[in-house]
Amino acid sequence: MVRWIGLALVCLAVLITAGILVYRDSRIRQQVELATGGRIERAVPVMLANGCGGCHTIPGVPGAQGLVGPRLDGTLSQRLYIAGVVPNTSENMIRFLRSAREMVPHTAMPSTGISEQEARDIAAYLYALR
């Protein structure tokens, strides 16, 4: 009987922890979508269509194991600068994703020419990674 109570308490602790993590993740999603004007769920197809994974390693993007550009993982939101030069704000990120070479002429990042909404979606996805 004591074993069952212990098991039930462990299961309850796991469920509570999972609930907290889901709540935290949903809050992060809401915050980055509000800050960027993007929708996280639309980002992966855009990144696949534009070959982002050829240069970057991006969690959650199939085949994105590139080594040319920086890893776009959970540390992106903590970085102070984009491309080591531009302050890391959501508006700068959106602009950089669209026209990197206009902002940083000698960057290896191409000016993608993606739409503003596509850039907002990608920015939301990248900032939501933890």
pLDDT at 102: 95
How many CA atoms within 13 Å lie on the side-chain side of 113?
1
Q: 22 pLDDT band (50/70/90 cuts)? A: very low
Task: Evaluate if residue 21 carries a pLDDT over 80.
Answer: no
Range of the domain at 61: 2-128
Task: Evaluate if residue 6 carries a pLDDT over 80.
Answer: no
Total domains, the chain = 1
Measure the CA–CA gap between 128 and 58, rounded to whole angstroms: 12
Instruction: Compute the mean pLDDT over every residue in the chain, rounded to the nearest whole number.
Output: 87
Full DSSP string of the chain: -HHHHHHHHHHHHHHHHHHHHHHHHHHHHHHHHHHH---GGGHHHHHHHTTGGGT-B-TTSTT-B--SS---STTGGG-SEETTTEE--HHHHHHHHHHHHHHSTT-SS------HHHHHHHHHHHHH--
Measure the CA–CA gap between 113 and 54, rounded to whole angstroms: 17
**CATH number of the domain enclosing 49:** 1.10.760
Q: Is the pTM of this model over 0.75?
A: yes
Mean pLDDT, residues 17-27 taken together:
54
Residue 52 identity: C
pLDDT at 28: 86
Tens of pLDDT, residue by residue over 43-82, are 999 999 999 999 999 999 999 999 999 999 888 889 999 9
